[in-house]
Amino acid sequence: MQALTNRSKIASNKKMSFMERIYFPAIVKGMFITIRHFFGKKATINYPEQTREFSQIYRGMHVLKRDDEGRERCTACGLCAVACPAEAITMVAAERKSGEENLYREEKYAEVYEINMLRCIFCGDCEEACPKEAIFLTDRIVESEYERLPFIYGKDRLVEPVDLNLRIDISARQTENVLKFKQNKRFAHNK
Amino acid sequence: MDWTLYIYKTIFLFIIFLITLVIAMYSTYGERKVAAFMQDRRGPNRAGLFGLLQPIADGLKMFMKEEIIPLTANRALFILGPSIAMTTAMLTGVVIPWGGTLTIGGREFSMQIADLNIGILYVFAMVSIGVYGIMIGGWASNNKYALLGSIRAASQMISYEIAMGMTIVALILSTGTLSLHEIVEHQHGIHWNIFYQPLGFLIFIVCAFAETNRAPFDLPECETELIGGYHTEYSSMKLGFYLFAEYINMFISSAVIATLYFGGFNMPFIDQLGLSPNLLTLLGSAFFFLKIFGLIFLFMWIRWTLPRFRYDQLMNLGWKKLMPLAIFNILATGAYYYFTEFN
């Protein structure tokens, strides 16, 4: 039979030589291996103090963007929920009343917008599906919890603050390809 | 004996007691660090600076845990087991010479709690009684795994004690005394026994690993086969006592090895330094502890390098390899002294 790899070793039942039988050379050899690792570089990083460098386009916790005037961009069209392969997104749409023009950008908005972070696979399909540039994945980490319920993030944790200084930066996600794609005049309304 | 001596001995006893406990405590920390470093990890570093408060946190955890005594267990023996293990582990330190003599106000104070003239036998006696802690604990648990662990411990201790005792016979032949203090005096400067008894040292250290139940001879408590062996049923501080006793044993056996084979508190070129005797004594003690730490590191190093022996391999090594070697060692030593000293 042909070997699949060249790593297989032929086992033999040959008698051990004297040096092998007294074990000590092998033990000393093993001890040198461990002491080399003792002074070697550690694979672990000190997590809360140090963080591993993220990719430029890391896909972490979502953000629901506001426009420059502080109005929510999301119009509850449901395309993200349809696009979501893990079915993590649910929403309830509502109609904008008069007097709420400073809160919501379009006539329709999401009254409830929930993402189940335990279901989410952070694929970024919601971001791609969104016609209003409302949802983005960011380099923030979804924090750990002791129970399941807190992992269902509502609007209180997803929508970014109104204050311009506290807005979540998503410029890293705007790669050249994305910007080129946005040149299409179908997206002119998002300017 | 007058009262200053009593006070000195009491204070010294407490200091040794404290040092033993602290070193055993930080051996647990050291072990975890060494293990981590050898496996390319970082080890405990959350509690305090470099994780130095980790042993205290561990101890606190042990105290806070629920104490469970199984209904089917023999209650009295179940409690007696860890007590014996801990007590005997602490007792051995009494005969070890921790240093030379200090001269304070014209009086000489020996840095040894009791200079028994049969010190070495005392060490062996205490080690043998230590097995009872494991045996009684394992038997009283009324649990198959615990019983298997304690049976293994008992047979292992008996097998390796023979080879260990025989190497000591050879050592006694060359030094001519059973007192640990005199054995140390005999190795003045760099005339350490390891250079005169290299084979004996090798046998002794292998047996010391077996006697302290350390890897590769940790069969009594192998986690993978026996779920902790003799302390399967133990919880809370009683488990803590067992684990702690193991580290005390490691410290004490390192001290015994350093005393017997590495010259105890002797250091090379001590006569050329020209310092005051008291300073030399303290320096010698510091050097002694340095040797002990080195040996403790060796214990840990071996543990995280070698896999566990199989039971039949263990017996094979003990009875068929080490014992004949030890007998050969006695004969060789005896023959050497017969032909050199009695001519």
pLDDT at B103: 78
pLDDT digits (tens, 9 = 90+) for A52-100: 888 888 888 999 998 888 888 888 998 999 999 999 999 999 998 888 8
Q: Is A35 on the interface with B (CB under 8 A)?
A: yes
Q: Which residues of B touch chain A, with CB atoms under 8 Å apart? A: 34, 37-42, 45, 301-302, 304-306
Q: Is A29 on the interface with B (CB under 8 A)?
A: no
Residue A18 domain flag: no
Residue B192 domain flag: yes
Residue B267 domain flag: yes
Residue A75 domain flag: yes
Residue among A30, A35, A41 whose CB faces B306 most closely:
A30
Residue A21 domain flag: no
Residue B62 domain flag: no
In sequence order, which ranges of A101-175 are alpha helices (DSSP H)?
Answer: 125-129, 155-158
* CATH number of the domain to which A99 belongs: 3.30.70.3270
pLDDT at B297: 92
Q: Which two tokens stand for residue A11?
A: 């086992």
Q: How many domains does chain B have?
A: 1
Q: Which residues of A touch B305 (CB under 8 A)?
A: 27, 30-31, 33-34
Confidence at A1, pLDDT banded by 50, 70, 90: low
Residue B28 domain flag: no
Q: Which residues of B touch A40 (CB under 8 A)?
A: 40
pLDDT at A146: 93
Residue B327 domain flag: yes
Q: Which two tokens stand for residue B259?
A: 């005393």
Residue A70 domain flag: yes
CA distance A102 to A77: 20
Question: Which residue in chain A has the smallest CA separation from B43?
Answer: A44
Residue among B38, B45, B306 whose CB faces A27 most closely:
B306
pLDDT at A114: 93
Residue B219 domain flag: yes
CA distance B298 to B205: 10
Q: Which residues of A touch B39 (CB under 8 A)?
A: 37
Q: Which domain holds residue B323?
A: 68-99+115-341
Q: Which residues of A touch B34 (CB under 8 A)?
A: 38
Residue A102 domain flag: yes
DSSP A116: E
Q: Is A50 on the interface with B (CB under 8 A)?
A: no
**Dihedral sign from CA coordinates of B276, B278, B281, B287:** negative
pLDDT at A89: 92
Q: Which residue has the tokens 């660090």?
A: B33
Question: Which residue in chain B has the smallest CA separation from A22?
Answer: B321
A/B interface, count of CB pairs below 8 Å: 36
pLDDT reading at A50 higher than 70: yes
CA distance B189 to B192: 8
Pick out chain B residues at pLDDT < 70: 1, 220, 222-224, 342-343
Which letter, b or e, does each residue of A83-119 get, where b requires 16 or more Cβ atoms within 10 Å of its Cβ?
bbeeebbebeeeebeeeeeeebbbeebbeebbbbbee
Q: How many domains does chain A have?
A: 1
CA distance B153 to B131: 7
Q: Which domain holds residue A135?
A: 62-190
Residue B2 domain flag: no
pLDDT at B224: 67
Residue of A32, A33, A38 to mutate for B, most B C-beta atoms under 10 A: A38
Confidence at A119, pLDDT banded by 50, 70, 90: very high
pTM for the whole thing?
0.78
A177: helix, coil or strand? helix
Residue B163 domain flag: yes
Q: Is A41 on the interface with B (CB under 8 A)?
A: yes
**CB contact at 8 A, B220 and B150:** yes
B101: helix, coil or strand? strand
* Cα–Cα distance list, A126 to A63, A88, A112, B72 (Å): 11, 10, 16, 60
pLDDT at B119: 84
**CB contact at 8 A, B131 and B153:** yes
Q: Is A27 on the interface with B (CB under 8 A)?
A: yes
Query: What is the Cα B154 distance to its own chain's centre?
Result: 17
pLDDT at B40: 87
ipTM of the complex: 0.74
CA distance B78 to B285: 39
Q: Which two tokens stand for residue A92?
A: 């309830």
CA distance B141 to B148: 11
Q: Which residues of B touch A42 (CB under 8 A)?
A: 37, 40-42
